[in-house]
Amino acid sequence: MSSSKDSPKSGLSRRDFLRAGGAAATSVTGLAGATLETQAQPGQPPASHIPVLGPGPAKISLNVNGREMSTAVEPRVTLLDALRNYLDVTGCKRVCDRGTCGACTVMLEGKPVYSCSMLAVEAQGKAIRTAESLVDGGKLDPVPEKFVQFDAQQCGFCTPGFVVAMRAVLDRNPKATPEDVEQGLQGNICRCGTYEQMRDAIYSLCNRPRRS
């Protein structure tokens, strides 16, 4: 990697970074330092097939709801923060920022993932879908539609995450039972307590009667 690719803004050259990293590693364990060195010896270019990014911003391109969007982020930026802070896609919410609450759930190639727990650079080349994709003009996808019908949202801050997770379950298994859907929502938390109304929505989506 040529030094011209280093971000002038970062104020920390790649060489500084490696030196600091190496020093820290030696002081902790020799093994970690060794790993670093096999990947990139100071002063020597790394193997050409390993892309090296950072620490300054790197150009990335993300496919969000069918649109290519590009920006430049430091490699440490999560997919969630790239979407929210750099691309103004704010349907996915930052709540716990460490993979517990599900508010940041997006679909990556159809699979629900916690976007706070994945780096933006890793999501390149994959189809990302957020809650914003579940409405087309005035036409609502059945999942958010049922959320509205049964009032399965109060403050609504958790809702896009639940909606995406629920959409993902039903996409994978259109015949999912209410139990299957609830299973798929285990990684989401709602503080306002909309679970009861969510169950109404789930039963309706699964075409099952609820209560007599």
> Residues 106-135: x/- map of binding to ligand FES (CB under 6 A)?
--------x-x-------------------
Whole-angstrom distance, CA of residue 39 vs CA of residue 49: 11
Q: Which of 13, 63, 90, 117 binds another protein (CB under 8 A)?
A: 90
Whole-angstrom distance, CA of residue 98 vs CA of residue 104: 10
Instruction: From the list ligand FES, another protein, none, pick the one residue 104 interacts with, judged by a Cβ distance below 5 to 8 Å according to partner type.
Output: ligand FES
CA nearest 42: which of 58, 62, 20, 60?
A: 20
Q: How far is the CB of 94 from ligand FES (least distance, A)?
A: 5
Is residue 104 within the footprint of ligand FES (CB under 6 A)? Answer: yes
Residues 6+ apart with CB under 8 A from 101: 95, 158, 161, 188, 189
Q: Which of 64, 103, 107, 121 binds another protein (CB under 8 A)?
A: 103
Is residue 77 within the footprint of ligand FES (CB under 6 A)? Answer: no
Is residue 149 within the footprint of ligand FES (CB under 6 A)? Answer: no
Q: Exposure pattern of 144-172 as b/e (b: 16+ CB <10 Å)?
A: bbbbeebebbeeeebbbbbbbbbbbbbee
Is residue 191 within the footprint of another protein (CB under 8 A)? Answer: yes
For the chain, the straight-line distance linking the first and the last C-alpha, in angstroms and rounded, comes to: 68
Binding-site ranges for ligand FES (CB under 6 A) = 94-97, 99-104, 114, 116, 153-159, 190-192, 194
